[in-house]
């Protein structure tokens, strides 16, 4: 592929991903895109941060900014999940719980789990593509993400099926930038979905500490609190990975750069660049708890801070898996500081497994192409409802 063809391919991939963002978030995404500068106060919305250094400053400053308080994630999720789940905790309680949970999210724990539970599915995708079949990678990613989370939180694999995935996406899809809380009716709807897992989670809670509920019981959390934590990881884990894998693969296939990921070093660059561009958590919320200066802007207690993580990540330059643009960001797409995504090793293991299967298809002399795609509307994270792949000679 010539340099000109490569540049055209990269530009095409970015245009298609841009269309996806606008299709999934026709109001919120253009609104954030229109906010100028590295930091700006937007009436009715909050303080919008779009610069990587400023985003990291906010995320690392636990004395000045919190996930608890007006406009933060606690306003959204505490009514649904309860008060003692990582996504809405802050301070020493958060650090203590995170330290105790860290072993079951470590690479040494999740990588064998992913290989054992999801390896056969990835191998089936590879076989089908090599046999000339078309494969819906979005459907495969939903099944894989759901299965991995189910095992980790101690649920039967069948308990986290496509129906539940759609219900979970429906919960997160209720979130709006312009509305910092869920309505009472939305809270009741969300709790009803998570309550349906109660029987499964209760069994895991009474079991050993190899699963999240069992470990939470060992930490002294009640069964209700453990169920809230299970709900939190299901809410944050399934949709995040199910959205990220197809988007990253689409970028690589559309640009013709999947072949550049044939060795391990190339694959790691491609994954990092794909995560930089897609940013699994495109927006992060904080509540200001002490007076601070963010860039040239003064913020005061009670100010809502909206970190447009996707914009901060993309400011480093256009998508290019041969570049080293992701390195300086230190995985900002997973957050920073005390709230750096505890599930990052699980996400990386799932992405590596999926990409490895496609790399082997390309190594056989075929080229993986996207033949059809459908945006997933009505959900929080930009992703595909359908992404059909084909391997052509």
Going by their DSSP bridges, the two strands 46-49 and 304-307 should be labelled as: parallel
Report yes or no: 303 and 44 within 8 Å, Cβ to Cβ.
no
Q: What is the mean pLDDT of the chain?
A: 91
Residue 328 — very low, low, confident or very high, per pLDDT cuts 50/70/90? very high
CATH fold for the domain made of 3-392: Cytochrome p450 (1.10.630)
Say if CB 347 and CB 206 are below 8 A apart. no
Contact present, 343 and 236 (Cβ < 8 Å):
yes
Weakest mean pLDDT among 121-130, 180-189, 348-357:
180-189
Q: Where are the domains of the chain?
A: 3-392
Residue 327 has pLDDT above 80, yes or no: yes
Give the model confidence (pLDDT) of 117-137 as tens digits. Answer: 899 999 999 999 999 999 999
How much of the chain exceeds pLDDT 70, in percent? 100
pLDDT value, residue 155: 76
Q: Kind and range of the H or E element at 287?
A: strand 284-288
CB 110 within 8 A of CB 210: no
CB 234 within 8 A of CB 217: no
CA 103 from chain centre, in angstroms, equals 20
Burial of 108 (C-beta count, 10 Å sphere; 0-12/13-18/19+): exposed
Q: How far is CA 254 from CA 44, 168, 248, 273, 388, in A?
A: 38, 29, 10, 15, 12
Task: Check whether 148 has a pLDDT greater than 90.
Answer: no
Looking at residue 232, what is its pLDDT? 82
When mean pLDDT is compared over 183-187, 213-217, 224-228, 230-234, the highest value belongs to 183-187
Quick one: pLDDT at residue 209? 81
In this predicted structure, the answer to whether residue 101 has a pLDDT above a threshold of 90 is: no
pLDDT of res. 135? 99
Task: For residue 278, give Cα distances in angstroms to 258, 301, 326.
Answer: 16, 31, 12
Average pLDDT over residues 164-187: 86
Q: How many CA atoms lie within 13 A of 2 on its CB side?
A: 3
Residue 259 C-beta-side C-alpha neighbours within 13 Å: 15
- Reduced to 3 states (helix: H, G, I; strand: E, B; else coil), residue 386 is strand
DSSP E strand boundaries for 130-259: 135-136
Q: Which residue has the higher pLDDT, 245 or 176?
A: 245
Question: What is the per-residue pLDDT across 156-169, written as a single tens digit (0 to 9) for each?
Answer: 777 777 887 888 88
**pLDDT exceeding 90 applies to what percent of the chain?**
64
* Residue 145 pLDDT level (bands cut at 50, 70, 90): confident
Lowest model confidence (mean pLDDT) among 114-118, 131-135, 148-152, 360-364: 148-152
* Separation CA 147–CA 156 (nearest Å): 9
What average pLDDT does range 251-266 have in this prediction? 95
């Amino acid at each position: 592929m010539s340099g000109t063809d490569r540049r055209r391919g990269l530009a095409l991939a970015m245009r298609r991903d841009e269309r996806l963002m606008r299709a999934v978030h026709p109001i919120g995404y253009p609104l954030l895109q229109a906010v100028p500068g590295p930091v700006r106060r937007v009436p009715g919305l909050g303080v919008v941060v779009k610069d990587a250094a400023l985003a990291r400053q906010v995320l690392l400053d636990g004395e000045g900014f919190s996930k608890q308080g007006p406009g933060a994630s606690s306003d959204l999720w505490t009514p649904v999940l309860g008060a003692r789940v990582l996504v809405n905790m802050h301070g020493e309680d958060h650090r203590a719980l995170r330290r105790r949970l860290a072993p079951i999210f470590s690479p040494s724990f999740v990588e064998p789990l992913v290989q054992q539970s999801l390896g056969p599915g990835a191998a089936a995708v590879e076989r089908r593509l090599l046999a000339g079949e078309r494969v819906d990678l979005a459907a495969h990613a939903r099944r894989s993400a759901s299965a991995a989370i189910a095992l980790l939180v101690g649920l039967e694999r069948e308990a986290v099926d496509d129906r539940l995935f759609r219900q979970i996406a429906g919960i997160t899809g209720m979130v709006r930038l312009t509305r910092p809380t869920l309505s009472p009716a939305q809270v009741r709807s969300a709790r009803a979905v998570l309550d349906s897992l109660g029987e499964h989670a209760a069994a895991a809670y009474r079991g050993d500490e190899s699963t999240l509920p069992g470990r939470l019981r060992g930490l002294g959390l009640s069964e209700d609190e453990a169920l809230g934590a299970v709900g939190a990881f299901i809410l944050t884990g399934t949709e995040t990975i199910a959205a990220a894998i197809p988007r990253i693969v689409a970028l690589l296939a559309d640009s013709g750069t999947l072949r550049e990921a044939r060795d391990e070093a190339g694959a790691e660059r491609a994954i990092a660049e794909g995560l930089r561009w897609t940013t699994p958590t495109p927006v992060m919320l904080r509540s200001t708890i002490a007076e601070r200066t963010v860039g040239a802007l003064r913020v005061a207690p009670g100010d809502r801070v909206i970190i447009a993580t996707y914009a901060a990540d993309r400011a480093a330059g256009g998508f290019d898996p041969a570049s080293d643009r992701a390195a300086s960001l230190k995985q900002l797409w997973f957050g920073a500081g005390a709230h750096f995504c505890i599930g990052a090793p699980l996400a990386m293991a799932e992405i590596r497994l999926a990409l490895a299967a496609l790399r082997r298809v390309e190594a056989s002399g075929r080229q993986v192409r996207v033949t059809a795609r459908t945006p997933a509307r009505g959900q929080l994270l930009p992703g595909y409802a359908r992404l059909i792949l084909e391997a052509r000679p």
